Amino acid sequence: MATIKDIAEQADVSAATVSRVLNYDQTLAVNNTTKRKIFAVAEKLNYQKGTRKKRSKNKFIAVVLWYRPEQEIKDTYYYSIRLGINEQARIYGYTTRVFYQGDAWTDLVKAEGIIVIGSNQFTAIQLKEIKSLRRPLVFVGRNTLAEGYCCVYSDFHLSIKEIVDHFIKMGQKDIGMLVGDLNDDYDKENLIDFRFQDFEFYARKLGLFDLSKIFVGKFTPESGYDVVKKAIDLGKKMPAGLIVANDAMAIGALKALREAKLSVPNDVSVISFNDTTAAKFANPALSSVHVDTHAMGAMGMQVLQQILNSDQMTPYKVVFKTTLILRESSLN
């Protein structure tokens, strides 16, 4: 029986491209000539898609989150992703079930498929447990292609470069970052926040990295406020340009800077990530990196549906473009 790999070899394309064309992936940027060639080879080889058992009505899509319910209220970034998943799942006829941090995972094995959101904050043991279930699996918010799993994530690498370049353009070469990490025993020199890793790489390349200008919070407004206030109280000079890992912490940081009589953006320019609704109404309005989180969630579900409908699926990634939205919190 012909396989996707056989078609890929004869059509001179990747197995991932064949899989996505045969599953009518509308997000794939492939010209019609290539599509016709793939279908022609598939017909020539008498390729037959595998049939899957009809799912039972009690099957559900598991959405696994790294945070607790109360954290979702304070930072709507992941909430928006989850809504996108839920709406797309309903279109496909699925229900969804949310597993927050701390919930028992015993029912995960019963899921039709699993979508993991924000996996950077999971421990290696937790991720190993999820993978060991051998359920159809998609990661949203992290590049897991090298690990053999389909994923949907945002291109924050270019965003970091754009922010740093903007600060430099405004004459602000003293640049620091307020990073997010939930672990109390974090190693400041080896933080897992991928935004920090991108920032450190680029800042070192430019000779601008200063570990003393790195602050660590827990993704909440309270932690952003506490960390910045403590630094100021200890007499630390705040950087002229401050990158913050999410809007929630940035709003807390703005409050601490305001109380310390530090002008934003004249003394400290602040740019954060996620561009949630709160960013527009912060005081001052917050410059932030916009991501279409709802579309990311919907795409995560679309990718999972392709896996569920395919007898063979070569892992692939979908990368969402980001946009830096400049507002009053930064010199522009």
Residues 183 and 265 in one domain: yes
Q: Tell me whether residue 235 is in a domain.
A: yes
Residues 150 and 187 in one domain: no
DSSP 318: E
Task: Give the whole-angstrom CA distance, residue 213 versus residue 196.
Answer: 12
The domain total for the chain is 3
Task: Give the whole-angstrom CA distance, residue 67 versus residue 279.
Answer: 21
Taking Cα atoms as reference points, which of 251, 206, 205, 211 lies closest to residue 228? 251
pTM of the entire structure?
0.79
Q: Tell me whether residue 49 is in a domain.
A: no
Range of the domain at 204: 156-291
Least confident of 41-50, 108-117, 201-210, 256-265: 41-50
CATH number at residue 128: 3.40.50.2300
Q: Tell me whether residue 253 is in a domain.
A: yes
What's the rounded mean pLDDT across residues 175-184? Answer: 90
What's the rounded mean pLDDT across residues 218-228? Answer: 95
Per-residue pLDDT reduced to its tens digit, 286-324: 999 999 999 999 999 999 999 998 877 889 999 999 999
Task: Give the whole-angstrom CA distance, residue 120 versus residue 260.
Answer: 33
Residues 165 and 231 in one domain: yes
Q: Tell me whether residue 114 is in a domain.
A: yes
